Amino acid sequence: MTSNSPDATADAWLTRNRTALERTPFGVEVGEIGRVTRIADGIARVSGLPGVKLNELLRFSDTSLGFALTLDAESINAVLLDDSGSIAAGSEVHATGEILRVPVGEALLGRVIDPLGRPLDRDEPIPAETTLPIERAAPAIIERDLVSEPLDTGTLVIDALFPIGRGQRELIIGDRSTGKTSLAIDTIINQKHSDVICVYIAVGQRAGEVQQVIESVRRHGDPSRCIFVVATASASAGLQWAAPFAGISVAEYFRDRGQHALVVIDDLSQHAATHRELALLTHEPPGREAYPGDIFYLHARLLERAAKLSPERGGGSLTALPIAQTDAGNLSAYIPTNLISITDGQIVLDAHLAAANQRPSVDVGLSVSRVGGKAQPRALRDVSGKLRLEYSQFQELEMFTRFGGLSDVRVKQQILHGRAIRALLTQPRFDALRRIDQIALLATLDEGVFDALPLPLIAQLKARLSAWLDARLGDAKPDVASLASKPLDDALRRRLVVEVQALANDIADSSS
């Protein structure tokens, strides 16, 4: 038999490939392959995957992703997370066995990501430490601690009248263009002086508005301590739906390590509209205002994850500032009432105050903080105790003065004092006040120093106050910790009033 015979050729082939054959595993591999039966409006109807779990991540034949939103006996409704241009009826669908997860870790700080953790700011990948599911159980009651530590916003009307504590959920609500996002972003910017990690979540916002927010934080704050989770209006409905849950999971990573985190969700009204859209597309039964019946549970399970943990759990905190939009100031609409009942208070912004150029346009009568008062710094509480009552009385008196002049001297003095309060509470953007500045201003207001001062000079005084106190107090300036836990010392109070009055006299002399 020659070397060119068929048997010799076969032997040579076997010799060359024997090692490869030995390494080849043999056996039966079982897997489920689903098929798309119908696709439209970002929803794919999939059959052939009986083992899929709720919210399980699915991979389509073109490598795009989706997740199971509803489960029926014969099929499932999957929400697409990517562009569905190449998916059609008959396309293969594979279950991944994992629920929707987001990467978390220190590497995300300073980055802009989508709800799946994919970078949006640059092509550089993010080396995440681990991943967490976007849906996580809220801490149990026994794992929580009292909200007793203040979260300084730098905005006088908030810190003095409606203080926010670390671990609190405070709703920011108002009509369009009343300054809701501006108030939240100013709070994020003010955390550059603290140890709080900030997570901004954009849901259904225009890309230009989100870019302005990011640039504002980069210009005035500390972007290296911020994470931006973005699902703009052009993103798929699935990404917009998942964005708040993913952002909360990103913040929980820091909370569970004993750190402090702040989450701003902009906004939950748009998130509710996205949930309604998905529910109607999947033929869920509609309820009030066409929202599905689980809309309350959706936001409740989301916001309940904000908490102050007990020392046994590390003592970390997660503070939530969800934003909601109203129509014509209607707080009794379905979504606003739901969110007001879920959260620990609300800051209501008034369109009439915004039109009158009073910023921040906080409605003092409708706003409330149900928890943060227990976390308000003791020294600040000592000088702001009468502020809300005096301002409310002024607003009532000012309304009556429209019908004619008032000759009573006491009433005139109340009007002057109220106008000084309003000028003091008016605060431009990116002009945060330190805690010592707020205490000095309110202590001086209580002494009536601002009543005789022309209103335009009050704005000048606030702009110069920080540098003035640093120069005049020197080593006598108390630290932040003492102002938080101890009552305001009488000697320090008198010293602050004297210094602010000296600054007011200096401004008045220079303007005359």
Q: What pLDDT, on a 0 to 100 scale, did the predictor assign at position 16? A: 66
Virtual torsion, Cα 200, 206, 211, 214, nearest 10 deg = -10
What local confidence, expressed as pLDDT, does residue 477 receive? 74
Neighbours of 195 (CB within 10 A): 8
Condensed to tens digits (0 to 9), the pLDDT of residues 147-184 reads 999 999 999 999 999 999 999 999 999 999 999 999 99
The answer to whether the beta carbons of residues 347 and 183 sit under 8 Å apart is yes
Which letter does DSSP use for residue 30 in this model?
-
Q: For the purposes of burial, counting CB atoms within 10 Å of the CB of 353, is it exposed (0-12), middle (13-18) or buried (19 or more)?
A: buried
472 assigned to active site: no
Going by pLDDT thresholds of 50, 70 and 90, the confidence category of residue 15 is: low
User: Between these two residues, 25 and 461, which has the higher pLDDT value?
Assistant: 461
pLDDT digits (tens, 9 = 90+) for 47-98: 988 889 888 999 998 888 999 998 988 899 999 998 777 888 889 999 988 8
Query: Considering only 67-81, 403-417, 434-448, which range has the smallest mean pLDDT?
Result: 403-417
- In the chain, what are the helix, strand and coil shares in percent, each to the nearest 5? 45, 20, 35
Over residues 23-36, the mean pLDDT reads 71
Q: What is the pTM of this model?
A: 0.90
Relative to beta strand 56-60, strand 112-113 is unpaired
Q: Look at residues 297, 199, 299, 171 and name the one whose alpha carbon lies nearest to residue 255.
A: 199
pLDDT band at 488 (very low <50, low <70, confident <90, very high): confident
The predicted structure's pLDDT at residue 86: 83
pLDDT of residue 402: 72
State the Cα–Cα distance between residues 484 and 279, nearest whole angstrom: 47
Please state, rounded to an integer, the average pLDDT across all residues of the chain: 90
Nearest-angstrom CA–CA distance, 136 and 260: 18
DSSP string, 72-97: -SSEEEEEESS--TT--TT-EEEEEE
Question: What is the arithmetic mean of pLDDT over 135-148?
Answer: 94
What local confidence, expressed as pLDDT, does residue 406 receive? Answer: 62
The pLDDT value given to residue 511? 77
pLDDT of residue 510: 83
- Using one digit for the tens of pLDDT, what is the confidence trace for 146-156? 999 999 999 99
pLDDT classification of 18: cutoffs 50, 70, 90 = low
Output 432 or 86, whichever has higher pLDDT: 432
Residue 6, pLDDT score: 63
H helices within 34-177, ranges in order? 156-161
Q: How many CA atoms lie within 13 A of 419 on its CB side?
A: 14
Delineate the domains of the chain, giving CATH numbers in brackets. Answer: 33-99 (2.40.30.20), 102-375 (3.40.50.300), 382-511 (1.20.150.20)
Checking 286-292 for CB contacts under 8 A at 24+ apart, the result is 288/334, 289/333, 289/334, 291/334, 291/335
Q: What is the pLDDT of residue 208?
A: 94
Decide: helix, strand or coil at residue 202: strand
Q: Tell me: pLDDT of 23 over 80.
A: no
User: Is a pLDDT exceeding 60 seen at residue 28?
Assistant: no
> Looking at residue 1, what is its pLDDT?
43
User: Annotated catalytic residue: which of 59, 136, 370, 429?
Assistant: 370
Question: What is the longest distance spanned by two Cα atoms in the chain?
Answer: 130
Dihedral pair phi/psi, residue 105, rounded to 5°: 140, 175
Is the pLDDT score of 396 beyond 90? Answer: no
Q: What is the pLDDT of residues 192-223, one digit of tens each?
A: 989 999 999 999 999 999 999 999 999 999 99
Name the DSSP class of 389: H
Using one digit for the tens of pLDDT, what is the confidence trace for 224-275? 999 999 999 999 999 999 999 999 999 999 999 999 999 999 989 999 999 9
pLDDT at res. 26: 61
